[in-house]
Amino acid sequence: MKHAIVYVLLILFGVFYVCSSAYSADVTIEENDKLAGLILELEYEDAVIEFNKRIEIPEFLGHAPIDLWATLVRHPGNDPRPTVLMATAYRRELQIRGSFAEYEEGFNILAVDARGTGSSEGVWEALKPAEQTDLAYIIDKWIPEQPWSDGSVCLKGKSYSAISQMLAAGHIERDEAGNPIHLKAIFPVMTFSDAYKDICMQGGNLNQLFISGWYLATNTLTTIPSTLLIGGENGKMDNGGASLDQDILMEAWVNWISSLETWHVSMGWFLDQENTHDGEFWDERSPMAFWPDKHPYDRDRYGHDKTIPSKLPVFLMGGWYDLFTRGTLNTYQYGLKDHDNTDKALVMGPWYHIGDTMGVNNDDIRNRWYNWKVKGKDDPFMVEYPVLLYIMGEERWRAEKDWPLPESRVENKTYYLTNTRQKTKRGDWFSFLNWKNNYGLTEIFNKSNYKNKENPVLTHDPSFLHGMVSRSINRWTMGILSLGSQESKYVKGKDIDAYMFWEDERSDELDVLTFTTDELKEDIEITGPLALTFWAESSFGEPKPKSNPLVNLEVLLGKQFAKLTGNEFPEEGSTIGQETEEKDIQWVVELNDVFSNGRAKNITSGWLRASHRQRDPNEPEGVTEHGIDPDYTPFDPFYDGADKSPERINEKERYQYTVELWPTANVFKKGHRIRVSLSGSDYPHLLPIIVPSKNTIVIDADHPARLDFQVVNKNDEDDTWKWIDEDSAFNSAEIYLLQHEN
């Protein structure tokens, strides 16, 4: 009965969606193209539109045959043209709306529902190899055979579609010289490289906020009834209405029934405790499987030797507050390491996931890339300086030769956490209210300063979780809260950030450990990742499953939803039950820029579950002081031993941890202060631990706590870097990207 209610609601929602889309269209629709009205906000006045286009995928690269459905928008006549291809799990009729710029530039447009989504056959399994090879087949086999195709293909898309680009690139055909035969360029906007670390399990902690929202939204879109039901094949309609034969009707019905199974299948991804560990489930969905350098710890893990072609042009765009900051930058650094500067580019702005590239029109930039790489127009750009970074704090764009920045541009720097309380500061209420937990952060490590000092203690109380009044909640809801303030700042030129609650961490930092420098005597630019290394001893109380009403409600809703989707939700052995009631620690580290008035702006963050620490696998038995694995190097994307086989800590024994903070680019101005905060929760971003704990941060002469990072100098200007403007106008990036040469 419960299943029936859910399905009826989904049907009603789908009918409402289809009807509202059809009747809100305002485009001129030619005869036999009436379903083009579903493609809103486009004015393909002279286009030939085949709304439901069948693509038969045969058995290919070991995967079963399947029928996919697509929407084709092409120019009249059969003049062969290049094709812009999008593959999506978010309904092709929605995604194709943003392709008018490419059509105007002379490209044909093809949008495809991934297998098991939209109208396509099968059960959706999110980025698995079969989905990857479907796209490779369309690129190398199907499109080149069409009379309207000149055989060249380029890919576009953001987020899921960006990841699909990187995955498909590993399977495409290339000639003996390594040149892709049909795929001529890709333009991924905000992509991850490691499905486990970048998006699902930050530091071994379940990213429940984004994953749960993404899960519900994607599955809802997947189970909206097929567009085949209102147009049949090719979306053609006669004057009397849709011409649907029984075979099409049955196919649409079967595909829709199959799509309902996605709720059951995908719910199991997050109820299965095994998936909280890194392994094949995540590996086969990770574009890093196609990096030129394979995993040095397990070279056979991917079962293939395929790589992203070094001669495939790739233009990456990402954001410092995006979900995939780490993934985008690692893709450039490792995935494109063998690419020539003429075939790679990277733009990193101050963006979140929604409202991506706000203030910079990437349609025109993308078309410039396509015209150069696909059409052969002699218009090289982003060659001498293939990296463009927005430097926060300075509020300017800077062109760079490479990422990471070359050794000549950076100097290694260390700040030390102290157990000496920081001075209060007039005008900063936080320095008074959190005085007992606010310690110093200093450049100088003087052993004599640590004698007979009381160590800082972090108390984790599941009744009071941190993260709600923080940038964290905005980042992991994709920046939806900041759409207005982002537009105000980067489009209208009016900065209202200081009035937004997520732009000041002080309320969220009360009762957590903070370590703050004195006022800076000069500007300091930190660009790149940071690592906090420290020692701690922990003791635990008993789980408090009802200690926090929000968590209690969340678990209750999770159980009911699991039942509705046909899944079991055991108290023990499930992700929720196991991860929340373990005697474990969530180390949550934030790097904040403290303004002269006390406002603490979050710059970047890092997370590590104690059981996922970088433990030494060869450690002798019986020791009570546990150091870090000597083979571990911070920021090594291949290091995953602890994520594959985590190990809980023992109470009252001493452990060393390194928390990796995601890369950033920020100038801390003279008179500001730098703050590191250390807490035991980041809710609702991370699934919380409901076991109370007391954690002593051991800081003495033999156990320094250190923040390691790189500061940027001003050497080699106009040789390895340059400012692209004389002022701080945000749209200078767009002007530069569209007008500069070489």
By CB atoms closer than 10 A (0-12, 13-18, 19+), residue 703 is middle
Most confident of 99-108, 187-196, 248-257, 439-448: 187-196
Mean per-residue pLDDT of the chain: 87
Predicted local confidence at residue 46, as pLDDT? 80
Predicted local confidence at residue 302, as pLDDT? 63
Q: CA of 110: how far to CAs of 72, 328, 476, 646, in Å?
A: 5, 25, 31, 44
Predicted local confidence at residue 542, as pLDDT? 87
Predicted local confidence at residue 517, as pLDDT? 97
CB 226 within 8 A of CB 14: no
Q: CA of 576: how far to CAs of 211, 554, 581, in Å?
A: 13, 10, 8
Phi, psi torsion values for 260, nearest 5 degrees: -65, -25
What's the average model confidence in pLDDT over 680-696?
Answer: 95
Q: Which residue has the higher pLDDT, 40 or 529?
A: 529
Phi, psi torsion values for 65, nearest 5 degrees: -65, 155
Does residue 143 sit in helix, strand or coil?
helix
State percent of the chain over pLDDT 90: 66
Predicted local confidence at residue 250, as pLDDT? 80
In the predicted model, is pLDDT for residue 26 greater than 50?
Answer: no
Banded model confidence at residue 222, pLDDT cuts 50, 70, 90? confident
Q: Alpha-carbon distance 155 to 168, whole Å?
A: 10
Predicted local confidence at residue 560, as pLDDT? 63
Instruction: Tell me which residue of 472, 445, 178 sits closest to 307, measured CA to CA.
Output: 178
What are the percentages of helix, strand and coil residues in the chain, rounded to 5?
30, 25, 40
Q: Flag whether the pTM goes above 0.85.
A: yes
Q: Tokens standing for 168?
A: 């498909």
DSSP assignment of 488-517: HHHTS----GGGSGGG--HHHHTTSEEEEP
Structural domain boundaries of the chain?
2-383, 410-470+505-541+583-712, 546-581
Q: Which residue has the higher pLDDT, 706 or 19?
A: 706
CB 174 within 8 A of CB 108: no
Angle in degrees, 0-180, between the axes of helices 2-23 and 549-564, rounded to the nearest 10: 90
Banded model confidence at residue 591, pLDDT cuts 50, 70, 90? very high
- The Cβ of residue 23 has, within 10 Å, a number of other Cβ atoms equal to 8
410-470+505-541+583-712: CATH topology is Jelly Rolls (2.60.120)
Q: Alpha-carbon distance 456 to 677, whole Å?
A: 12
> Hunting for tokens 């049909």 — which residue is that?
182
Beta carbons within 8 Å of 146's beta carbon, 6+ residues apart: none
Predicted local confidence at residue 569, as pLDDT? 60
DSSP at 139: I
Instruction: Tell me which residue of 200, 215, 204 sits closest to 582, measured CA to CA.
Output: 204
What's the average model confidence in pLDDT over 420-430?
Answer: 92
**What's the pLDDT tens digit per position in 616-675?**
999 999 899 999 999 999 999 999 989 999 999 999 999 999 999 999 999 999 999 999
In the predicted model, is pLDDT for residue 30 greater than 50?
Answer: no
Rounded (5°) CA angle 608-323-331 = 90
Q: Tokens standing for 506?
A: 């002080």
Q: Tokens standing for 249?
A: 């009707």
Q: Alpha-carbon distance 229 to 226, whole Å?
A: 6
Predicted local confidence at residue 56, as pLDDT? 96
What's the average model confidence in pLDDT over 258-262?
Answer: 76
Banded model confidence at residue 253, pLDDT cuts 50, 70, 90? confident
Rounded (5°) CA angle 516-533-436 = 35
H runs (alpha helix) in 530-612:
549-564, 575-581
Banded model confidence at residue 17, pLDDT cuts 50, 70, 90? very low
Q: Tokens standing for 191?
A: 């992509």
Does residue 520 sit in helix, strand or coil?
coil
Predicted local confidence at residue 373, as pLDDT? 97
Q: Alpha-carbon distance 644 to 367, whole Å?
A: 42
Predicted local confidence at residue 300, as pLDDT? 61
In the predicted model, is pLDDT for residue 578 greater than 70?
Answer: no
State percent of the chain over pLDDT 70: 86
What's the average model confidence in pLDDT over 286-299?
Answer: 81
In the predicted model, is pLDDT for residue 96 greater than 80?
Answer: yes
**What's the pLDDT tens digit per position in 39-84?**
434 556 688 888 889 999 998 877 889 999 999 999 998 899 999 9
DSSP at 722: E
CATH architecture of the domain with residue range 2-383: 3-Layer(aba) Sandwich (3.40)
What strands, in cross-sheet order, belong to the sheet with 344-349?
48-57, 66-74, 108-113, 81-88, 149-158, 183-189, 314-319, 344-349, 387-391, 396-400, 721-723
Predicted local confidence at residue 431, as pLDDT? 93
Predicted local confidence at residue 219, as pLDDT? 86
In the predicted model, is pLDDT for residue 609 greater than 90?
Answer: yes
What's the average model confidence in pLDDT over 306-329?
Answer: 97
Predicted local confidence at residue 574, as pLDDT? 52
Least confident interval from 163-177, 636-650, 726-740: 726-740
Residue 174 CB-half CA count within 13 A: 18
Predicted local confidence at residue 239, as pLDDT? 35
